[in-house]
Structure 1
Amino acid sequence: MIGVADAEPRLPDLTDGGMGAGLRMVSELAADDDGDVSAEPVADHNGKVVLVRFRIPPWRTHPDSRELTQ
């Protein structure tokens, strides 16, 4: 999981039509590896955190295992 925080309290529109190009690209990349994008307010101050969750395929973390999956 990767999180990015900022001081803007307004949560992003995570619909296909509401996302900008950058967030849409991150969302598509996460979806390629069974992940997703979400946003939530920061508990201790104004702002938000955008979270990206995804699985890292074994061949991306262990170069030798790529040969086993092909």
Structure 2
Amino acid sequence: MEVNAGFVDAVYEAVKAHEVYLEHFSGKTIVIVLDNAPVHRHREARVTEREDLELLRLGPYSPTCNPIEGTR
């Protein structure tokens, strides 16, 4: 398993086990937002497919959607 896929799987499992998810969002789809970094584009196909997991990839050159870019 690739590192990125392992990270996504770990985040998914952590969310599923979190008490807030269990109390308020149980059964809802978990959405993980990925930026357009090359590592995310090439390895996301290796993430375990799940019915309640959606990977949402930001469009190219969209710094306003990515808080780490520090746009105002």
TM tier, smaller? under 0.3
Q: Bigger radius of gyration, 1 or 2?
A: 1
Report the TM-score when normalising by structure 2: 0.27
Q: As a proportion of its length, which structure holds more strand? A: 1
**TM-score of the superposition, structure 1-length normalised?**
0.27
